[in-house]
């Protein structure tokens, strides 16, 4: 009888051990999945230079080129700009620069030229580099690599005009994305003409616009000389940092909190629903280079 009891207890111990191991394994699997979901991280580089704009707001092209070079080196972890650009483009690529030509606050020509200069220097022939905004659906759709560059501003329909929204010209009817505060702009990034092609996002914060009274509204008093560039491979992360910057300036100007997160909710939706990138600032590494006066973030 004692022997049977011992065997029975031994069997129970083995069963209990196996059950616990199975439960632990299952739990570990779930935990690993949750950890994987929470492990998404992003990196955004902020480069500023006091001399990039003169007293009249004119751009110093040489300084802007230096800022771009510093930014890509920090973003890609390279010693030289050429090494960084070789991670972005290959000599055989057809490269498209998606610009923004909104007249009051366009992508600076000096930045377009700085990007094209570095792309040519790593072996891409000039005839294999295209720059466009409103005709992007026709001219840039067959490019193998896209570089996304535009100024940061508040926007009447989407809350914020940033890197996510800048690809709207790849669709036939951009206005079809305007309802519900452009909530699903991230779906544009799933289209075959752009999916996986954007290798660099440059959010221009030389003179960002922090307040908008209506569609196409622009007043110089609602911009300020921040003198910076934000760079990332993640369009959601760079826009999220841009929103934080605009909110900080709005508080200074208006003397009260004027949040943009809910108005610009397409950024949060791009993360949570469409998994385009990271919107949670706690999961974004912000690297700051250069002039730090009144950086606000």
Q: What are the pLDDT digits (tens) for 187-238? A: 999 999 999 999 999 999 999 999 999 888 999 999 999 999 999 999 999 9
Residues 6+ apart with CB under 8 A from 76: 83, 84, 87, 88
User: Residue 114 corresponds to which tokens in the numbers above?
Assistant: 């700085």
Same domain, 104 and 22: no
Residue whose tokens read 């009891």: 5
* Residues 264/247, Cβ–Cβ less than 8 Å: no
Task: Provide DSSP, 84-135.
Answer: HHHHH--TT--EEEE----GGGPPPHHHHHHHHHHHHHTT--GGGEEEESTT
Same domain, 17 and 128: no
Total domain count for the chain?
2
* Residues 204/111, Cβ–Cβ less than 8 Å: yes
Alpha helices, H only, the chain: 2-38, 61-76, 81-88, 109-121, 136-139, 179-182, 235-254, 266-272
Helical (H) or strand (E) element with 203: strand 198-209
pLDDT tens-digit profile of 107-148?
Answer: 999 999 999 999 999 999 999 999 999 999 999 999 999 999
Same domain, 54 and 200: yes
Same domain, 11 and 51: no
Same domain, 186 and 276: yes
Domain annotation covers residue 98: yes
Task: Tell which residue, 134, 127, 129, has the closest CA to residue 116.
Answer: 129
User: Residue 138 corresponds to which tokens in the numbers above?
Assistant: 């026709």
Domain annotation covers residue 103: yes
Domain containing 22 equals 1-39
The pTM of the whole model exceeds 0.75: yes
Same domain, 14 and 117: no
């Amino acid at each position: 009888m004692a022997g049977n009891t011992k065997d029975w207890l031994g069997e129970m111990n083995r069963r209990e051990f196996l059950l616990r191991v199975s439960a632990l394994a299952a739990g570990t699997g779930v935990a690993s999945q949750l950890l994987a979901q929470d492990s998404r991280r992003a990196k955004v580089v902020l480069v500023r230079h006091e001399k990039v704009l003169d007293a009249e707001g004119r751009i110093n092209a040489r300084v802007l080129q230096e800022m771009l070079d510093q930014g890509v080196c920090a973003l890609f972890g390279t010693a030289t700009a050429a090494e960084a650009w070789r991670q972005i483009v290959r000599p055989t690529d057809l490269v498209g620069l998606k610009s923004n030509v909104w007249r009051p606050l366009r992508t600076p020509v000096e930045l377009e030229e700085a990007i094209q200069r570095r792309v040519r220097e790593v072996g891409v022939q000039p005839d294999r580099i295209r720059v466009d905004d409103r005709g992007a659906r026709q001219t840039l759709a067959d490019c193998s690599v896209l570089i996304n560059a535009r100024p940061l501003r508040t926007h009447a329909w989407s809350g914020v005009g940033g890197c996510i929204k800048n690809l709207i010209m790849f669709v036939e009817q951009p206005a079809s994305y305007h309802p519900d505060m452009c909530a699903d702009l991230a779906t544009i990034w799933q289209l075959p003409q752009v999916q996986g092609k954007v290798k660099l996002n440059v959010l221009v914060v030389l003179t960002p616009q922090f307040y908008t009274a209506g569609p196409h509204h622009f007043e110089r008093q609602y911009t300020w000389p921040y003198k910076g560039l934000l760079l990332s491979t993640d369009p959601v992360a760079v826009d999220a940092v841009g929103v934080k910057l605009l909110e900080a300036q709005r508080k200074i100007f208006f003397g009260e909190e004027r949040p943009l997160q809910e108005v610009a909710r397409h950024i949060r939706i791009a993360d949570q629903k469409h998994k385009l990138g990271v919107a949670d600032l706690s999961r974004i590494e912000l690297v700051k280079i250069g002039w730090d006066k009144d950086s606000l973030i």
